[in-house]
Structure formats: C-alpha cells, structure tokens
Structure 1
C-alpha cells in the first residue's frame, strides 16, 4: 500500500466503530519524505510525504470503509527534566541547545532522546535529569534530528 497524504487525525473522531491498524513511526522519522514500514497487522506501507509537514501521532494515512491506518509514535528512553524556575529552564535549554539535542515538551517536562554523556553533563551542571520512557510528539523548536559540529574556542 502506498499513501501520499494525511486524511485527518483520530483526535477528531470516535474510534469505536473503526478497525484500527497502526504504523509505528519513530520520532526521528516524522519529517522524512519517504518511508517504508510494516503495520501492526503486517501490511507493507510506503509513505510518500510530499507536503513536507511532519507526521503526528494519530494521523490517519488510509481509510477504506471502517478500516483505518493510523500513525503511532512509539515510546523511547528519554532524558527528562522538570525545571523548577527560570534559571533551571534557561540552563536546560542552553545545555541542550549547545549540544544540538532535539528538545520536546509535555506539560512541565522537557525531554530529549536518552544519551548517557548528555545525562552526565546535565547532572554535572547541577540539573536533576532522570530517565523515563516517553512518546516524543511535541518538538520545541525546529531541529528534530540534531547534529553536531566542533567549535574552536
């Protein structure tokens, strides 16, 4: 099956009457233009995302009658911080940004994919990060993929 657009999001409808099949899209894949996946029911799915918008949790990619194919973003290990004040918020954002780490937000928690050196660096800075399994669905800022470069200071 090849899908080329998002039809709607399941948050807008009642799922009780639908037969739902999920396709897991990792947080770092949501902006890819072409994906090849296997749904939870074993259907091979080709996704051509030509409009450039990131896929979101609950996006319906296909529907035929009462059957739908829905995007699901799986849980992954994350570093989580709950800044207690503006200083901690600033320090967290500075340290994450300095390492080009993708940053996500959920309520009062800031999250990034788990990375042991980053975890240790945040602890060393006096912050209180902890490890938790999360769905990274709400990016804060534009850099989902992260990258690195060297500085010559």
Structure 2
C-alpha cells in the first residue's frame, strides 16, 4: 500500500468503532515525505506524500469503514525549559538561536531536544528546566538560513 495523502487527524475524526492500527514514528521521521514503515500489526506501508507537509501525531494515513492506520509519535528525550523571568527567556532564546536549535512551545514551556551542552548552559544561566521523555505533536524543524 502506498499512502500519498493524509486523510485527516484523529483529533478531528471520530474513530466510530473502527479498528486502529498504528505506525510508530520518531519526531525526526515526521519531516520525511518518502519512507517505508511497518504498522504495529506487521503490515508494510510506503509513504510518498504529494504535498510538502510534515506528518503529525494522530494523522490518519488510511481509513475505510472498519479500519484506520494512524501515526503515533514516539517519545523524545527533551529538555523542558521553564524560564521564570523575561530576562531568562531572552537569554536562552538568544543562545539557542545562535546554535540554530529548533524549539517548540507548549503553554509556558519551551521544548528542545536533549543536548548536554544546552543542559550545561541552562545550569550556568540558572534557568529552571527538567529532562523528560515526552511525545511532541510535530517535528522539530530546522530553519535554514545563512549569515551574510
């Protein structure tokens, strides 16, 4: 089976008694438009998306009256930052930007993929953080640019 487009997302579509089969992907795999994956039931699927869109947790790859095949993102090793002042937020945002590290935000938390150098920096700047295994909804996207 070749999947060329996303049917929807389980957050928006009721499963209505359908059997759900899952494809487990790391957040890094969410940006790949072409890949071969295996469901938790052992079915091999090719993904070749026509639209240049990243996959997200809960995306429905296939659906009929009885079955759904759904993307489930595996946990990432994350640093969860909780700056307590605007100064701390500015300092860490500037430092992470200089390193071109992608970040995501959930509520008042900033999420970055674990890096021991970033952890050392957080300790030096005395910014509150924790290291957690957590599922992210979308890929960490590197923004390409050049310094001119």
Give the TM interval when normalised to the shorter protein: 0.7 to 0.9
Q: Could you tell me which residue of structure 2 aligns to residue 43 of structure 1?
A: 43
- Partner of residue 18, structure 2: 18
Structure 1 CA distance for aligned equivalents of residues 13 and 143 of structure 2: 34
In structure 2, the residue matched to 1:104 is 104
Segments of 5+ residues of structure 1 without an aligned counterpart are: none
Tell me: higher relative CO, structure 1 or 2? Use CA pairs within 8 A at least 6 residues apart.
2
Is the deviation greater in 109-118 or in 82-91? 82-91
Q: TM-score, normalised by structure 2?
A: 0.88
Task: Count residues in correspondence.
Answer: 146
- Normalised to the residue count of structure 1, the TM-score between the two structures is 0.85
Question: Which residue of the partner structure matches residue 32 of structure 2?
Answer: 32
CA RMSD, Structure 1 to Structure 2 (Å): 2.1
Worse-matched range after superposition: 110-119 or 129-138 = 129-138
Runs of 4+ in 1 over 4 A off after TM superposition: none
Cross-structure match for 1:95: 95
